Amino acid sequence: MSEPLIPISKKVSSQNSTSVIKLPCYVAGKAIESEKVLEVRSPYDNRLVGTVTLANAAHAEEAIETALKGGQKLSRYERYVILEKTRQLLTERKEEFAQVISAESGLAIREARYETGRAHDVLMFAAIEALKDDGQIFSCDISPSGKARKIFTLREPLSLAVCITPFNHPLNQVIHKIAPAIAVGTPVILKPSEKTPLTAVKLVELLYEAGLPHYMLSVLLGPTREIAESLVKDSRVEIVSFTGSVAVGKHIAATAGYKKVILELGGNDPLIVMEDADLDKAVFLAAEGAFRNSGQRCTAVKRILVHEKIKDAFVEKFVAKAKEYTSGDPADDNTKVGTVIDEAAAIYLETVVKKSVEQGAKVLLDGKRKGALLGPTVIVDVPRNAEMVVQESFGPLAPILTFKDIDDAIALSNSTAYGLSSGIVTNNMEYALRFVKELKVGTVNINEVPGYRIESSPFGGIKDSGLGVKEGVIEAMKCFTYVKTFSMPW
């Protein structure tokens, strides 16, 4: 039986003569037809960027049944070829993808281009790992009660995964879940963010084009109760991989039932600048960590913790550096900081800054909100109980707090409900080792931003940042499989 044809993404002209992308959702490669569509508008100027045809409960059921019915089973080499072909296609169309990312999310085009490079790496590593076998062999004659046998392990794919992704990094967040699943042969139903769905659907089309059997992947958007909640609760789904807010993640954990649940729930990551730090390096890392991607990263620098002895010198250099991160039209190559995801998010950020000022903080650089556009904002003397540092502030805010010594720095860093990552700026090995041992986070980066990693390395947090289960290509491949053992006489 031949697989359904995949329609090419359509573009039509809107009233203001800009290109509008029209996309469907897909059930195992079959385009959904419906009069209900989701409009996707630019956070920068509210223009219509594209539309996506919405799915319903019947489509969710069909996606589950089709995935479980299955089809052609892919060898390791065939999975490698599909992922490698997708990587090649993405490389050829990286500018097209970057433009869509920037248009629907408001990210600066330079950040969108960077994201396509990260997605390239995910596909490359997943393809490489698809060729590897991490099976183990255990000899059984190693104890007085043993015998002449050997036990072998192998990995089997799970029958079905549901992957739910957020609006930030609309390409890389999606490929970080889909590529490892494909690498091990686990079918996926993808539910991307309604705020940035165009990139996700285009990526699904790219995977179909690369030869992925259609039963292996569906992409659905629609009413929460009919799509997301029904998929999460369905007992036929063996794993839910979710990246998003703490509230939604904990709701998924409470309602998913007897299945694997992988949660990446954001962070409140500190950059800790010790008194011996290279100030120029510290300032650069603080600015990159706080302002890149409009501050909308779970691993962005959300708190800058500076030793009180060097506060004044650091602040002077940092404010000057922050002014270099120009905000404006995301499509402009010279723009470094685009919008946050929508005006409501920008208003919230503006509000928490005002609240901190009421508590005694001082704004040294005002981002001056205009709609969803909020430029880099530097705040000093921020109280330790201010909302903007206790909760995750998802935007280009740079609150600066001081500490008196390493004990105080560790206590301050550990004082929030989050535990994703951290960055330390120091040349003192004793300091570095203490931070590695005592910070309650999933990652400690010395002389680097909290978010640094490669796409194949383990990544994840503890506390309200997650359950301690890591992602990253290699760890995610383990999550999308189970280990089978067998033994034989030897």
Catalogue the active-site residues: 264, 298
Angle formed by the axes of helices 76-92 and 94-105, nearest 10°? 70
- Which alpha helices (H) appear in 256-310, and where do they start and end? 279-291
Per-residue tokens: 390: 């206790």
Dihedral sign of CA atoms 255, 258, 259, 264 in order: positive
Return the C-alpha torsion angle 56, 249, 52, 13, nearest 10: 160
Contact 469, 125 (CB under 8 A): no
Contact 445, 270 (CB under 8 A): no
Kindly provide the b/e burial profile for residues 311-333, where b requires at least 16 CB atoms within 10 angstroms of the residue's own CB: beebbebbbebbeebebbbbbee
Contact 38, 49 (CB under 8 A): no
Residues 6+ apart with CB under 8 A from 78: none
Nearest CA-CA partner of 87 in 112, 113, 116, 124: 124
Return the C-alpha torsion angle 40, 330, 285, 412, nearest 10: -40
Contact 67, 216 (CB under 8 A): yes
Contact 420, 441 (CB under 8 A): yes
Question: What is the number of other CB atoms lying within 10 angstroms of the CB of residue 13?
Answer: 9
- Length of the chain equals 490
Residue 23: phi, psi to the nearest 5? -130, 150
Dist. CA 170–CA 265, nearest whole Å: 16
Dist. CA 265–CA 198, nearest whole Å: 23
Question: What is the number of other CB atoms lying within 10 angstroms of the CB of residue 256?
Answer: 21
